[in-house]
Amino acid sequence: MTAVEQLWFTAPFELELRKTEMPIPSLGQVLVKTKFSAVSPGTEMLLYRGQIPSSMSLDTTIAGMQEQCAYPLQYGYASVGKIIEIGSGVAESWLGKQVFAFQPHASHFISYVDKLIEVPPDIPAERAVFFANMETAVNLVHDGAPLVGERIAVLGLGVIGLLLTSVLTRFPLKEITTFDRIGARREWSLKLGANSSFDPQSISDREKADLIYEVSGVPEALNLAIELSGFASRIVVGSWYGKKSAPVWLGGDAHRNRLRVITSQVSTIAPELAGRWSKERRYQTTWDMLRHITPEQWITHKELLKNAAALYAQIDRQPEDCLQPVFTY
């Protein structure tokens, strides 16, 4: 038996560190010792604040997150660790491998081998924790399908917005404009190659964008996306708002502009791509994109699991200081 620490969300604004024992892996399973797990300041804050609808699951494709959201529960979807024990039927070559898993925050976890993603040897663990968010960025690009010479706007420069910007800068676009209220994040987007970056509250008349990505997590930002749109522009919504909502202005130009609003979700492959793209192909593309940037420089906090309550409270009160927190084990 292995002693394990697990983080549990027990009620809005309440966390609990639970200690338990992990049994030995059974047929087809392995035991992973976690090295890092990334905190999502977006999705996890919805759970922390009690803003996720109880009628829906946290994720329909990740084991353990398919039930309706109800406290107490575990959460987290970006863990990197080392396989330290294998069960029967698992090849000896898996022992010692570094892997990524869509697993909640815990010091150890048991998983079936086919649910793990092997981390390429040239990618360090601190970068590998960005895998889930980079896959989301790749999916957003696929869903928006940017064209040569287009003007693109990215609303929201959390980790997903910055990763999305990093991928978009590899395209021959006319212009990439980013928006965020936090100045340091705007500076990061410019370093990545964005042409300009603005506080959304100080926007003036601008040339209309062909493609707008809304990844701020703020429902009101949909109105800015509409304001930035021209005739037949596409708006790709990558945010998950939970219980949050806001009035959306669909009168005026929005009514006549034949806008396309596309909701993007990384748990599936877009139907028009599914014939050629699999999850495995997208995974390989995600690793390739991570090779071109060093997102580990965005890690603002490294905390032990026992300090989780203080960390989440800080993210809640001072989001501008918490770009990418991670737990270390």
Q: What is the mean pLDDT of residues 142-164?
A: 98
Q: What is the pLDDT of residue 69?
A: 74
CB atoms closer than 10 angstroms to residue 188: 22
Residue 74's closest CA among 7, 122, 164, 148? 7
Both tokens assigned to 231: 């005739």
In the chain, residues under CATH classification 3.90.180.10 are 2-129+296-328
Q: What is the mean pLDDT of residues 154-166?
A: 98
Chain centroid to CA 168: how far?
16
Which pLDDT band holds residue 208 (cuts at 50, 70, 90)?
very high
Amino acid at the residue 44: E
3-state DSSP call for residue 162? helix
Q: What is the pLDDT of residue 56?
A: 56
What is the value of pTM for the model shown? 0.92
284 contacts: CB under 8 Å, gap ≥ 6: none
Tell the burial category of 223 from Cβ atoms under 10 Å away from its Cβ (0-12, 13-18, 19+). middle
Q: Which residues of 19-31 are buried (b: 16+ CB within 10 A; e: fewer)?
A: eeebeebeeebbb
Q: What is the mean pLDDT of residues 255-277?
A: 95
Over the stretch 272-289, which tens digit does the pLDDT of each residue have?
999 999 999 999 999 999
CB 28 within 8 A of CB 82: no
Over the stretch 51-88, which tens digit does the pLDDT of each residue have?
988 655 555 454 554 455 789 999 999 999 999 999 99
Q: What is the CA radius of gyration of the chain?
A: 20
Both tokens assigned to 80: 């990197």
Which pLDDT band holds residue 243 (cuts at 50, 70, 90)?
confident
Q: What is the pLDDT of residue 67?
A: 54
pLDDT at residue 99 is higher than 70: yes
Q: CA torsion sign, 126 to 128 to 132 to 138?
A: positive
Q: What is the pLDDT of residue 252?
A: 84
Pick the CATH number of 2-129+296-328 from 3.40.50.880, 3.90.180.10, 3.40.250.10, 3.40.50.410: 3.90.180.10
pLDDT at residue 204 is higher than 80: no
Q: What is the mean pLDDT of residues 283-309?
A: 97
- Residue-by-residue DSSP string for 89-128: TS-GGGTT-EEEE---SBSEEEEEGGG-EEPPTTS-HHHH
Q: CA torsion sign, 251 to 256 to 258 to 259?
A: negative
Q: For residue 229, what are the CA distances in angstroms to 131, 146, 153, 260?
A: 31, 15, 9, 10
CB 144 within 8 A of CB 211: yes
Q: What is the pLDDT of residue 66?
A: 43
Amino acid at the residue 304: L
Q: What is the mean pLDDT of residues 114-128?
A: 97
The CATH fold of domain 133-263:
Rossmann fold (3.40.50)
Which pLDDT band holds residue 91 (cuts at 50, 70, 90)?
very high
Over the stretch 5-45, which tens digit does the pLDDT of each residue have?
999 999 999 999 999 999 999 999 999 999 999 999 989 99
In the chain, residues under CATH classification 3.40.50.720 are 133-263
Summary count for the chain: helices (H), strands (E): 9, 15
Q: What is the pLDDT of residue 119?
A: 98
Q: What is the pLDDT of residue 59?
A: 55
pLDDT at residue 116 is higher than 80: yes
